[in-house]
Chains A and B, each alone.
Chain A
Amino acid sequence: MIVGERKHFIEIAEMLKGYGKVLVVGCGTCVKVCFAGGDKEVALLASQLKIAAKRKKQKLTVTEITVERQCEPEFIEELAPLAADHDVILSMACGAGVQFLAERFPDKIVLPAVNTSHLGVLEKQGVFGERCLGCGDCLIGRFGGVCPVTRCSKSLLNGPCGGSKDGKCEIDPDVKCAWQLIYDRLKTIGQLDNLKAVEQPKKWSTARDGGPRKTVLEDHTI
């Protein structure tokens, strides 16, 4: 899923300074699962905003709504009747959702309430770990199901640097060395020979480095 983290309240309050009517829009898919921007987080943020306004004796109208996904036109269309009546739309989706709202409502101020962190998994309750960079050219099959591009701090393709110690990465004792994970996995599945060949430089043109990307499915377009 796309993992996000809600911005600190002070930063959100600072962005909203001077606005009287705020539409807080949650997203019911990825960011709901990681407790960053679903309906519960919308309710919490709306309450925080109202309390803060009351304390400062400011007039503030906050409207709450959560749509299924902010990255699809049919779901954000639900916002159209409400958008007209608000000064600002505060999106609690990932960066894609925020931008899609801005595209749909070109005359409205659209602000982000969430920092989009990464593509990750639920490692254990409350812990989300990054697994994918979305590079557009998946190499995981050669590396025992562990992505060195994402999980090695240096994205090395030909084995660990000199900073791999006791399974940990040199940058942080809490970070596992991706190459230890790759080595152990390949050993377990009997594919250590995969590591003998020199991996060629990666084609970064399919990643963001080739410019903003677009996926077109010809058989699904109308």
Chain B
Amino acid sequence: MPPLDVKNSYIVDWRQLRRWGIPESRLPPDATVLYKPPTAWEQYKGYIISVATVLALLLALVAFLFIERQRRRKEEELNSAMLESLPGLALLVSPQGEILRSNQIEAGALGDELGEAAPPGRTYLDCLHRVAGQDGVMAAASVAQVIAGDRISATAEVPLLSGNRWLEIRAIQLPQGQSGSLIVHLDITQRKQAELELIESRTQIYHLNRVAAMGQLAAALAHELSQPLAAILSNAEAGLRFANRESPDLREIREALNDIAQDDRRARGVIQGMRAMLKKQDLKVVPVDLNHIASSVAQMMRNEATLRGMSIQVLLLPSPVMVQGDAIALQQVLLNLASNGLDAMTGTDGARCLTIRTSGESNGKTASVWVDDEGLGVSREMADKLFQPFFTTKHAGLGMGLAICQSILDSLGGRIDVKNRDRRGASFSVTLPRA
């Protein structure tokens, strides 16, 4: 076997190196230095590494906490800024309903109302009850659901107990990871007042429209009244003649008086209808019979039609057609449509008959009343503008009639449509939800 060569090793005694002043840098790289006292690092390497590791972990933890704190502080500042920038009183409410914090709103808006009544720590619904009463709390039931976590968001309008003041409460759940909800309160008193004024103005317009319609029907109504009055006079004179006889026939006198009473009732009905139309009142949505309304309008318009050499035909469903609406307002709508229909037939040839008819939709949810004329019909361009305010085809018209009709039907939850008839003329329909 070949010889096995044993190489020398480079081994030195560190103490001798120091004794003779030899730096370790002069040793070859593979030198083994013996008897060198361990450095603090070599002696306590484990401890040093452990302590350094613990310190590093602590430092990392502190850094993490510091960064997290900074982040939270910025987030808090942003939230505060957003909270402060919100209009009205904004409250952060816990899922238990406790007010956690609020923005600093200026006194005078809500500060003297809910603001002072809702300091942090109080229960929100108690505070709301204090300023809005039980009705207010009930109106804000959806807000309570948001607080309890049952809804994402809600909006409620709540009247305050202090009178003539309204709050709009907007509640929204905070994003996932943050429990509680944000509730913003806006003082909508001015808006509410504007809405009321708008309703009042609308009522005024409706009333004026009715007055105008009645004015247009004045001649017909006069004629309507003249007939019973003439009949009353005639029956009264006849009754006097019967009474002046030597042996008056009481049966004839009784019949004359009955006729007088009947004519009087007829005249009173006309006057009552006029009074109702001229009376200014708010819309009241109640079940009404479309057949009855159509009949009454046809009755009111019949003399006007006769005076114009036209006729009115009424085609009603055999049974009452009950819908949700306001009888006076619907009469106003049908009067407008019938009056327009008569105007549309003016100047046309042939038999001119206005038809008022009722129908029920196949779905059973709505019913309609139709006003069909035999005029020139409605062009496509005209159909687009027909319901716009101040659009008219009449020389003396204001162009508000159909706009008011549409507004009334919008308020009642119904709609008005127009289409041309197959033969000639136009057909307006008023559709309302069934009662």
Q: Tell me if chain B binds chain A.
A: no
Residues of chain B whose beta carbon lies under 8 Å from any beta carbon of chain A: none
Q: Which residues of A contact B (CB under 8 A)?
A: none
